[in-house]
Amino acid sequence: MKSKKNGRYYIAALIARTCGLRCGEILGLTWGDIDFKNNTLKVNKQWKVNKKTKTHDFGALKSKKSYRIVPIPAPTIKELLEYRKVAIPDINNRIIPCTGGSIKKFLNPIAGISIHELRHTYATLLIGNGIDFKTAAQLLGHDVQQTLKTYSHVTDEMFNRATEKISKIF
């Protein structure tokens, strides 16, 4: 971890890239949502702006399908354990105590990416590596039709594999 302050942005990007969460879902994660024994996380709330009070607080997720349990890859678990040792305590016990705007301000100039693009990469990698659309949809908190519509673009590698298979068939 480079520093306590920058570490949280790194962890936010890592969770988006390796678990496919939306920005508000990442910011709504608390340490109690992480199951270090089973390498999973529970998506059950998000951090968002209360439109009436103009303050940030926990809120309901985007849809019923957004409530889910997501596997966490072992290297990400390792990073989370390291980060937890140096993380600045948060009154709400949030893992990443900041706003979506501050993540955007940090990530964009450095890497030219957004949390949403990392989530999109996660989905593309799932599908490109043979995870069926139904499972990908469940992991992303989408319905299958939404996943097909959003993530069915063909990567160059997927196209090349299809070309090879077609050549063998015919």
Please tell me the predicted confidence (pLDDT) of residue 103: 84
Euclidean distance between CA atoms 66 and 106, whole angstroms: 26
Judge whether residue 1 has pLDDT over 50.
Answer: no
Domain that holds residue 125: 4-169
This prediction has a pTM of: 0.85
Mean pLDDT (the chain) is: 88
Average pLDDT on 1-26 reads 85
How many domains would you assign to the chain?
1
CATH number at residue 70: 1.10.443.10
Euclidean distance between CA atoms 89 and 141, whole angstroms: 28
Q: Is the dihedral of CA 120, 125, 128, 133 positive or negative?
A: negative
Please tell me the predicted confidence (pLDDT) of residue 51: 84
Name the residue with higher pLDDT: 24 or 133: 24
Please tell me the predicted confidence (pLDDT) of residue 2: 47
**Of 94-103, 104-113, 123-132, which range is least confident?**
104-113
DSSP 8-state code for residue 81: H
Judge whether residue 22 has pLDDT over 90.
Answer: yes
Instruction: Tokens for 84, please give them.
Output: 């937890």
Euclidean distance between CA atoms 51 and 137, whole angstroms: 29
Average pLDDT on 45-61 reads 89
Name the residue with higher pLDDT: 107 or 24: 24
Average pLDDT on 36-61 reads 92
**Of 3-7, 8-12, 35-39, which range is least confident?**
3-7
pLDDT-based confidence at residue 118 (cuts at 50, 70, 90): very high
